Amino acid sequence: MRKASSWVLGIVAAVVVTACSTSPTGRSTLNFMSGSQLNEMGRHSFQQMKDEGTISTDPELIAYAQCLTDAIVAVLPDQYRDYDWEVAVFDEDVVNAFALPGGYMGVYTGMMKLAQNEHQLAAVMGHEVGHVIAEHGGERVSSQLVFTAGMVGADILLSDRPPAQRNLMLASLGVGAQVGVMLPFSRRHESEADEIGMDLMARAGFNPEESVRLWERMAELGGGGGPQFLSTHPAPQTRIRDLGRQLPDVMPLYEERLHQGPPPNCPRPDFESRS
């Protein structure tokens, strides 16, 4: 049994070593999913979400979301230009947006209404673009596969223990991994997407100060939440603090972009007159 467990853990270790890469921020990552696999997964999931959701056909809302996305994608390095970069507007009063591998993104009308100007929504779209180019989807799938393989190895190692004791130890190991590894891993992705998105919006000509204001608004409307260590996202105050610390680095990028010409013309629709 121990030979079998060593074999399983050895395979996991070999995969981890060969799958190491680097994110756009320089962070070491684990991703053994190919680009074509990820893109196909993203395309399939995106189509499923569109089939199950309510897609807006309002040309003004669609043009608004596409304008912001196009402006941000235009400042990406060349290696990220071959994604599809498709954005859909979901006609639902939900304050949310999402990104899938391959450049498939969705933004809900609830989020579009909450964002008080194009700069704030550009912060959201830049964040989602950040998820895509950092390949967070592939990294999460890879880490989950490694976690599953590790649990299999642990099950083999504990096979000589009484069933009740083995089940308790495996349950404790699973909870510890989720709270100590998987959840912080998700929060790290969110923080990294914030960092990438703020840089991109500044380079595209959107005021990065509005990213901080957006999260201040989210904190005001959201009220209290659960403890951060049990959440997949950083607490709003943590995001506000981290974005504020990044402002001195990105404001010169924004100012330089304004010197080069007028910012993107992506006027916010008048949501107030629609209600």
Q: What are 122-168's pLDDT values in tens digits?
A: 999 999 899 888 887 767 766 665 555 544 554 454 455 566 655 54
- pLDDT beyond 70 at 246: yes
| Mean pLDDT of the region 208-226 | 81
- Give the tens place of pLDDT for each residue, 6-32: 444 444 444 444 455 676 766 666 665
Q: In angstroms, what is the C-alpha Rg of the chain?
A: 21
Q: Round the average pLDDT of the chain to a whole number and report it.
A: 77
**Average pLDDT over every residue of 169-181:** 42
245 vs 190: which has the higher pLDDT: 245
Q: 140: which 2 tokens?
A: 């999460």
| Residue carrying structure tokens 């923080």 | 191
Q: For the chain, where are the alpha helices, taking DSSP H only?
A: 2-18, 35-52, 59-73, 109-114, 118-133, 136-157, 163-177, 183-204, 209-222, 236-260, 271-274
Among this protein's residues, is 128 annotated catalytic? yes
**β partners of residue 97:** 107
Give alpha helix (H) positions in 205-235. Answer: 209-222
Q: What is the token pair recorded at 236?
A: 């709003």
Return d(Cα 275, Cα 267) in angstroms, integer: 18
Distant-in-sequence, close-in-space partners of 156: CB < 8 Å, separation ≥ 6: 1, 2, 4, 5, 8
Q: Is 117 left (phi over 0), alpha (psi -120 to 50) or beta?
A: beta
pLDDT recorded at residue 177: 38
pLDDT at 265: 95
Q: Which of 52, 60, 118, 128 is catalytic?
A: 128
Residue 90 has pLDDT above 60, yes or no: yes
Q: Region 166-190: what's the mean pLDDT?
A: 51
**Tens-place pLDDT, residues 51-61:** 999 999 999 99
Token couple for 74:
């235009």
User: Position of tokens 């999931």?
Assistant: 45
Give the Cα separation of 147 and 181 in Å (integer).
10
Note the pLDDT of residue 54.
Answer: 94
Q: Are 236 and 218 a contacting pair, CB within 8 Å?
A: yes
For residue 79, pLDDT over 60 is answered with: yes
Mean pLDDT, range 249-258, rounded to an integer: 97
pLDDT for the residue numbered 57: 95
The domain ranges of the chain are 2-7+34-274
